Amino acid sequence: MALEIERKFLVKNDSWRSDVVAESRLQQGYLANQKNVSVRIRTGNGKAHLNIKSTTIGIRRLEYEYEIPMADASEMLREIALQPFIDKTRYIVRHGGRDWELDVFAGENQGLIVAELELGSEDEPFELPDWAGEEVSGEIKYYNVNLIKHPFSQW
């Protein structure tokens, strides 16, 4: 079983930029968003992935991810994905011996920056960076699948 345990925080300032170790531009679209599951396509860095994720609220959920051909992903995004796409730049930021993923959103979600940290267990300790603000792990409005229907620019 593939299990994702992830904490999400809003980002309150730009001090994280000095600790960036990698970045990539991502586009993702959702093929399905149902009560119990979301199915998405994501492209970035010349690769494409199909992702299936349970919609459990909180920091723990099932997640399965498979690499797929880029041509197939492009066609699915163009022809069958819900619109608009999620467009963002993901920065990998090293802090406290861990790699944080910071998503800087563009398009309809411009202005939103969310930091995510994957953990091995729900109670695993970690050092919270100074740039991390309010925790939004359980707030569904910050889930990417919801940002398509209710973009940050409309809040």
What is the rounded CA–CA span in Å between residue 84 and residue 108?
Answer: 8
Domain count, the chain: 1
Q: Give the chain's residues under pLDDT 70.
A: 1, 57
For residue 58, the model assigns a pLDDT of 72
Q: How far apart are CA 99 and CA 85, in angstroms?
A: 25
Token pair listed for 100: 């944080």
What CA–CA distance (Å, rounded) separates 1 from 140?
23
Would you state the pLDDT for residue 138? Answer: 86
Q: What is the pLDDT of residue 42?
A: 97
Burial 43-80 (b: 16+ CB within 10 A, else e): bbeeebebbbbebeeebebebeeeebeeeebeebbeee
Domain enclosing residue 78, as ranges: 3-154
61: its two tokens: 């959920």
* pLDDT reported for residue 35: 85
Q: What is the CATH number of the domain that holds 87?
A: 2.40.320.10
Q: Is 30 a catalytic residue?
A: yes
* pTM score: 0.91
